[in-house]
Amino acid sequence: MPAPLLQRFANIRRDEVGPVVVAALFFFCVLSALMVLRPAREALGMQRGMDAIRWLFVGTVVVTLLVNPLFGMLVSRFRRLQFIAATYLFFVAGLLCFYSLLVLAPTAVGERSGQVFYVWFSVFNLFATMLFWALMADRFSEEQSKRVFGAIAVGGTLGAIFGPWLASVLARPLGTAALMLVAAGFLSL
């Protein structure tokens, strides 16, 4: 979208166009990664059927409550930008580990491994989105955020639309495991 149109449409100043476009692309990548992984989460986590969903939600809450204090401690000890980059790299490493497990030891991936991935993904989903908005809150002032966050959110919305479409196109020919590589690629951008 040309800068004048973006400025008129979203009340974005000329000097904000670049950072807003980069932020929208970043959010596009984050939500594309999350949405590409949803079918993998469902396929792996729901092997025991819908009866297991309650326990998967409980597991997600417990892990989130356990990780949150550690997360807070780490945030307070490291520079914010470095911490955010390291956390996304940690998520990429986790995806590569799950991918390796699925490809190198497919028989080892049973119900438990699928449930672990389900909970891991759910916690990852929460933290990936939260980290993005924390970074945006640091990058833009309160006055700017009132004007530019809507335009940035459009990038995420497009990613939330693109991700499931991409998963539907790639899942059958490449398999569930490959979706983890696709998501890792989006997070690495």
Q: Which domains does the chain have, with CATH numbers?
A: 16-188 (1.20.1250)
- CA-CA distance, 153 to 161, in Å (whole number)? 12
How distant is the alpha carbon of residue 67 from its chain centre? 17
* CA trace torsion 133, 122, 39, 130 (10° rounding): 0
- Residue 3: predicted pLDDT: 65
- For 13, 85, 145, 155, the CA distances from 141, given in Å and listed in that order, are 13, 21, 6, 19
Q: Residue 177: its pLDDT value, please?
A: 87
Q: 78 to each of 82, 102, 130, 170, how far by Cα in Å?
A: 7, 33, 17, 38
Q: For the chain, which ranges sit under pLDDT 50?
A: none
Q: What is the pTM of this model?
A: 0.90
Identify the pLDDT of residue 80.
86
Residue 49 in tokens: 């059927």
Q: CB neighbours (10 Å) of residue 8?
A: 10
